[in-house]
Structures are given as C-alpha cells and as structure tokens.
Amino acid sequence: MSDQARHRAPDDDAEPVVRLGGEVAEPVVRAGGDAAEPMVRAENVHKAFGHVKVLRGIDVTVPRGNVCVVLGPSGSGKSTFLRCINHLEKIDAGRIWVDGKLVGYQQKGDKLYELHDKAVAAQRREIGMVFQRFNLFPHMCALENVMEAPTMVKGQSKAESRRRGIELLDRVGLADKAGNYPSQLSGGQQQRVAIARALAMDPKLMLFDEPTSALDPELVGDVLDAMKDLARSGMTMVVVTHEIGFAREVGDQLIFMDDGVVIESGAPREVLANPQHPRTRDFLSKVL
C-alpha cells in the first residue's frame, strides 16, 4: 500500500469535535528529552486485525505531566491504541513518538524500519502499564513483586530495590501488606501493588487500561486515589476508564473514541458537561 493511501483520512462522514482545551500547540520533534516536547504524540495511527480496521487515523498529543483520559464504547479501539503506544501492537500506518522518540521504528530517509526486540524492550521499560487484570506473580509477596523488575531487568541491587519497593508500597497505602501474597490481598490492593510494580521501573509515562473495572465498587476508590496521587506528582498518564469523576477531577484532556476514530476531545469538564457529538452524548447518557 502506498504511504499516501495508508494515510488517508478516516472514511467517516462526521467531523471530529475538538475544543480549545483539547488543542495543543504543534509539537516540535527533536531527538528526545526536550521539555517543550509532548510526552506522547500519535499521528494518523492506523491498525487493522485482518480485515477489521480497529484504528482509523488517531491523532493524540499528551503534553508532559498531563493526564489524558480515553473514553468510548466497547470495541472502539481504546485498548488497541494504548497497546500501540508501547508497541505491544505494531501499527500499519502513522507514527507514535514517546518523549520525542519514534516508538518501535527507526526512520532512515523516508522509510521506517522496525526496531529489534532488544531496542523495543528498552523503549517499553520506560513506559509503565497497568491492566484491568493485575497479573501479579502469585508465588511472590507484594514487595517481591515490586522488586522483581528493577532487580532482574535493570540490575538494581536487591537492597536498593527493597528500599524503593517499601517506599512505593507505602505510597499506594500498602506499607503493612508488603509480605502478603496476591491471594492474601483484595483486588484493589493487588491493583495498587501492580501500580507500585510499574512505578518501580521509574517510567516516564504510565498507561492504564480500565484499572478499576474488574474491582468491586467499594475497592475502586483506593485505586483511584493512588492514581490521583500519581497524577498530582506530575506523572504523564493515559487512562482508559469509565470513571467519569476521575476524568473530571484529574483529567487535563479527554478524548472520546468511536469505531477507531477520535470523534471528540477537549477539557474533560467541557466535554462531559456539554458533549457535541451525538455518539458522545449517547454514551455519556448511559454512563453518567
């Protein structure tokens, strides 16, 4: 497929709604680590599984320290988009940069070459991801779960991993549960261990995919509090969630996806109070 064909606009009749709050200055792309540059920049991202076009031209910019909340109906491509950000999925067209670096590819001239596994893994280490299912190691206690990656992957000393692990468990309100195994923790506590585990790698970006949707309602608050605390600390976050209160309180930007396209974006309070697109209105009327 020619590059031009791959970059065509989504074949959708409706114009996406973009408010002032959701607009960001055109980012300057440099080698990386520049404070003026957004943490995430996705440009015209396309992804298909077989004949099913799941992402049809996603453009999203997340400035450093911002929280971008992603809403949308089931099957709209939210998880797929998150997975593309850390190259768990390859993209068919478009570009994604994290911290100014092209994710998963290297550009030579006007051609893209996929990075080797080692280079992809190195990029992925800088991005923390928290899923709906926490996937803790069942044979390790909370602290060991948090210590594992920094010790094994980063080669950090056990003493340092332990010190930092205790600090992170304390941060998510679980200092007293460090020795508990996952089976001895509630779902909400396990999810907070999963957050601490992701933070132990000192990520520059955190991706959350419906981190509270598998939890009993009474356990959701503690996980959201840990995420709010993280947001206040300045972490850049992309959060797929149906927690509208969270979106309103800590979101800097809300994007609404439908059928592989961002159909509406802007400041969460504005989009939530006054959705412009009929499909956003319809969705919000069901979840609000």
Ligand X SMILES: Nc1ncnc2c1ncn2[C@@H]1O[C@H](COP(=O)(O)OP(=O)(O)OP(=O)(O)O)[C@@H](O)[C@H]1O
Contacts 24+ apart (CB under 8 A), 264-268: 264/16, 264/17, 264/18, 265/16, 265/17, 265/18, 265/19, 265/22, 265/60, 266/17, 266/18, 266/19, 266/20, 266/21, 266/22, 267/19, 267/20, 267/21, 267/22, 268/69
Report helix, strand or coil for 237.
strand
Give the whole-angstrom CA distance, residue 120 versus residue 160: 26
Q: How is the chain split among helix, strand and coil, in percent rounded to 5?
A: 35, 25, 40
Q: Given the complex with ligand X, which of 72 and 182 has the nearer CB atom?
A: 72
Which residues on neighbouring strands pair with residue 83, listed in sequence order?
Answer: none
- Which residue's Cβ has the minimum distance to Mg ion? 79
| Residue 74's binding partner out of ligand X, Mg ion, none, with CB under 5 to 8 Å set by partner kind | ligand X
Which residues on neighbouring strands pair with residue 96, listed in sequence order?
Answer: 42
Stretch that binds ligand X, among 10-18, 33-41, 46-54, 187-195 (CB under 6 A): 46-54
| Residue 124's binding partner out of ligand X, Mg ion, none, with CB under 5 to 8 Å set by partner kind | none
Report which secondary-structure segment, H or E, holds 286: helix 278-287
Total residues at interface with Mg ion (CB under 5 A): 1
Stretch that binds Mg ion, among 31-39, 71-79, 215-223, 228-236 (CB under 5 A): 71-79
Q: Given the complex with ligand X, which of 80 and 190 has the nearer CB atom?
A: 80
Stretch that binds Mg ion, among 38-46, 77-85, 218-226, 247-255 (CB under 5 A): 77-85
Cβ contacts of 56 within 8 Å, gap of 6 or more: 10, 11, 12, 46, 259, 260, 261
* Spatial CA neighbour of 139 closest among 151, 128, 148, 129: 148
User: Cβ of residue 113: shortest distance to ligand X, in angstroms?
Assistant: 23
Total residues at interface with ligand X (CB under 6 A): 11
Position among 44, 61, 76, 79 found at the interface with Mg ion (CB under 5 A): 79
User: Cβ of residue 240: shortest distance to ligand X, in angstroms?
Assistant: 7
Site string for ligand X, 77-116 (x = CB under 6 A): xxxx------------------------------------
Contact between residue 84 and residue 92 where contact means Cβ atoms under 8 Å apart: no
Stretch that binds Mg ion, among 74-82, 180-188, 260-268, 280-288 (CB under 5 A): 74-82
Q: Find the binding residues for ligand X in span 123-182 (CB under 6 A).
A: none
User: Cβ of residue 25: shortest distance to ligand X, in angstroms?
Assistant: 28
Site string for ligand X, 50-79 (x = CB under 6 A): --x-x-----------------x-xxxxxx
The residues binding Mg ion (CB under 5 A) are 79
